[in-house]
Amino acid sequence: MSPTSFQVSADNRRYPGHVAIIMDGNGRWANQRGKPRTAGHLAGAKTVREIVEHARRSSVRCLTLYAFSSDNWSRPKDEVDALMRLFRRHLAAETPKCVENDIRMSVVGRRDRISPELCHAIRAAEEATIDCESLHLRLAVDYSARDTMVRAAAAAPVGSPLSRDAFAELLAEVNHDDGSAGDVDLLIRTGGEQRLSDFLLWECAYAELVFSRRMWPEFGTADFDAAVEDFRARDRRFGGLSKARMG
């Protein structure tokens, strides 16, 4: 891999460790070009590859991509089937490249409504890349933050107080996750809309939000870098006061 534009520096707390992306705009990108929506998803998969490679070269240690929300099941069956096929092929094709580039891949979300073939591809990708450390790539598939919280709450021990950390562990468990990703530092949404759409609501409590007008298939590495620069200019106070105002 070539040298990065964002090396980890002494100042690395000002770089986002965990970036999450709502990859929106595939359908509109395709429509604008007179193509079927599935062509937009195919083009979107190419952008996934570019952005993952780029994040791998940066200070980002975890990248979480919203690939399929639990509400996306309501889309036409042809589109859902095409997306599921695309995820399966992507996992199979990208696993050797991830191993080569030291990228750990995992999938968060429900597993009981996706096909056995996709489940198998997920397990194979996760097992093959389990020891990779340079970047943790998490794909959210059949994911809903609100459903996750409801299921975590239902799994909580009755009668004993529940800490934030214990609840976060339960959230991870119900999502087939190991909990290592932690809070999101920077959330990017492409496609011009400005909402969270049930994505990582707990983990984004103090995330910096960046909304891009670019459709996901045309979102490039320069756009990613611009979002990181935007993040770096923010004053993150986590409810406290900035150093300048502490006196």
Q: Of 31, 72, 102, 230, which residue is the catalytic one?
A: 72
Is 26 designated active site? no
Is residue 174 involved in binding ligand FPP (CB under 6 A)?
Answer: no
Looking at beta carbons, which residue is closest to ligand FPP?
A: 27
Query: Residue 195: what residue type?
Result: R
Is residue 216 involved in binding ligand FPP (CB under 6 A)?
Answer: yes
Is residue 87 involved in binding ligand FPP (CB under 6 A)?
Answer: yes
Mask: binding to ligand FPP, 20-59, rule CB under 6 A, as x and -? ---xxxxxx------------x--xx--x-----------
Is residue 136 involved in binding ligand FPP (CB under 6 A)?
Answer: no
CA distance 222 to 217: 13
Counting residues that bind ligand FPP (by CB under 6 A) gives: 20
By DSSP bridging, strand 103-108 and strand 186-189 are unpaired
CA 30 vs. chain centroid, Å, equals: 22
CA 118 vs. chain centroid, Å, equals: 18
Binding part of the chain for ligand FPP, among 85-93, 107-115, 164-172, 175-183 by CB under 6 A, reads 85-93
CA distance 109 to 116: 15
CA distance 195 to 125: 30
141 contacts 114 by C-beta, under 8 angstroms: yes
| 136: its two tokens | 């943790």
Q: Of 24, 142, 177, 223, which residue is the catalytic one?
A: 24
Binding stretches for ligand FPP (CB under 6 A) = 23-28, 41, 44-45, 48, 65, 67, 72, 83, 86-87, 90, 139, 191, 216
